[in-house]
Amino acid sequence: MNINKFSAIFMTLAIVLSIAGYTYAHWTDIIRINGTIKMAHILIDIKSEKVLMSRTVKKYYNSSVCYEVSPDLHTLEIYSKNLGPCWYIWVGLVMQNQGTLSGKIKTPVYSFEPSDGWGDHFETKEYFYGPYPENTGFGTLEVWGKVEIDKQLKKDGTVTFTTPSTPTPFTLNPTEKAVIWIWIHCKADLPPSAQGQIITLYVNIVDDVDI
């Protein structure tokens, strides 16, 4: 093999190896990392509910009430018929922070259907208790277990619990629970358009990031 031929082969190999090295270096510089980023959040849900109506109101107005929690667990929907002055109910809710951030519990927001200004005929009072650890036995808790209307929950919107209520807003840490009792009272005659109709009341839980 002459020198010129050997030199040509050597140069060809050198070029091939150089290209291969560049290609390898180029592709090894590209690294793809696939993963999931979990965002911190607050998620305060309704875990248990009660809607209590006195026998006097049931008898006098021939009124009844039914209710259900919305699929997202943030709203209690209450349906009632035959309402009038002095009609009232007590609504109890157990709420839990199932998120990863601490949240602030605030006063619920109320809305009505139909929405023809009917909300102006109602008034509310709220009493908050807690926060409580996740493993709290609510069955024996004074503010939940054996609560009865017209005993601990009075018709004038007051309560007789010895447990002091918690001022709002207050912090609910992840997994912690809280209790709220709400007095909803019809303070004036409803408009004629409301007579005989089913009124839907929405109790919407309000929360916010604890900053």
| DSSP H or E segment with residue 61 | helix 55-61
- Residue 108 and residue 203 in contact, taking contact as beta carbons nearer than 8 Å: yes
Residue 40 has pLDDT above 80, yes or no: no
Whole-structure pTM value: 0.78
pLDDT for position 22: 47
What contacts 155, CB < 8 A, 6 or more positions away?
Answer: 54, 86, 88
Of the chain, the end-to-end C-alpha distance in Å amounts to 82
**Distance separating alpha carbons of residues 91 and 127, to the nearest angstrom:** 10
pLDDT tens digit string along 47-97? 999 999 999 888 888 888 999 999 999 999 999 888 878 889 999 999 999
Per mean pLDDT, which range of 21-25, 38-42, 85-89, 179-183 is the poorest? Answer: 21-25
**Distance separating alpha carbons of residues 57 and 64, to the nearest angstrom:** 9
Instruction: Taking residues 198-205, report their average pLDDT.
Output: 88
Q: How would you classify residue 105: left for phi > 0, otherwise alpha for psi between -120 and 50, otherwise beta?
A: beta
User: In terms of pLDDT, which residue wins out, 110 or 21?
Assistant: 110
Q: Which amino acid is at 91?
A: V
What contacts 133, CB < 8 A, 6 or more positions away?
Answer: 175, 176, 177
**Distance separating alpha carbons of residues 129 and 146, to the nearest angstrom:** 15
Q: Which of 201, 199, 182, 194 is nearest to 93 (CA)?
A: 182
pLDDT for position 82: 82
The pLDDT confidence band at residue 209, using thresholds 50, 70 and 90, is low
pLDDT for position 23: 46
pLDDT tens digit string along 124-157? 999 999 999 999 988 889 999 999 999 999 999 9
**Distance separating alpha carbons of residues 53 and 111, to the nearest angstrom:** 20
pLDDT for position 2: 53
pLDDT for position 6: 46
pLDDT for position 206: 85
Per mean pLDDT, which range of 7-16, 119-128, 169-178 is the poorest? Answer: 7-16
pLDDT for position 133: 95
User: In terms of pLDDT, which residue wins out, 88 or 10?
Assistant: 88
Residue 158 has pLDDT above 50, yes or no: yes
pLDDT for position 52: 95
**Distance separating alpha carbons of residues 71 and 30, to the nearest angstrom:** 45
What contacts 14, CB < 8 A, 6 or more positions away?
Answer: none
SS3 content of the chain, % helix, strand, coil (to 5): 20, 40, 40
